[in-house]
Amino acid sequence: MGSGEIRNNEILNFIIERSLFTSKQFDIISKRTRGEHSVQHRTRGAYYRLLKQSRDKLSGLIYSLLLLQLVGLLDEQTRNVLDRLAKQVAVTQLSDIDEQVARDVIHVMEELVRRISKV
């Protein structure tokens, strides 16, 4: 999604709800990725606690991805499919999208995740 502002929409909400990150943790990650390091709307203690939790989850996710690649679950073809899907989701961040388009994208995501996670 690049360095631009992350737009909250139905697809992004769907992904966050099913991810390992809370919406607050994702908010911190996305802002820090864009170079924003301010503590807005939170106490400093809460912000740094969320930041640490976010970093810990990111580290765990990266190690998990390495393990999944090691056992062959994330082969090159699967990574390419995930990359294309991520690019399609990024396009939804550029403009307002129709509710039906959002449902279609979500359906494709669900189907892809279902196929990849079949072990």
pLDDT in tens, 67-117: 999 999 999 999 999 999 999 888 888 878 888 888 998 999 999 999 988
Cβ neighbours around 105 below 10 Å, total: 19
With a pLDDT cut of 70, the percent of the chain lying above it is: 93
| Burial 50-67, CB ≥16 within 10 A → b, else e | bbeebeebeeeeeeeeee
How much is the average pLDDT of 34-43? 80
78 three-state secondary structure: helix
For residue 20, what is the DSSP state? S
Distance in angstroms (rounded) separating the CA atoms of residues 1 and 7 = 10
What's the pLDDT band for 36 if we cut at 50, 70, 90? confident
Contact 33, 111 (CB under 8 A): no
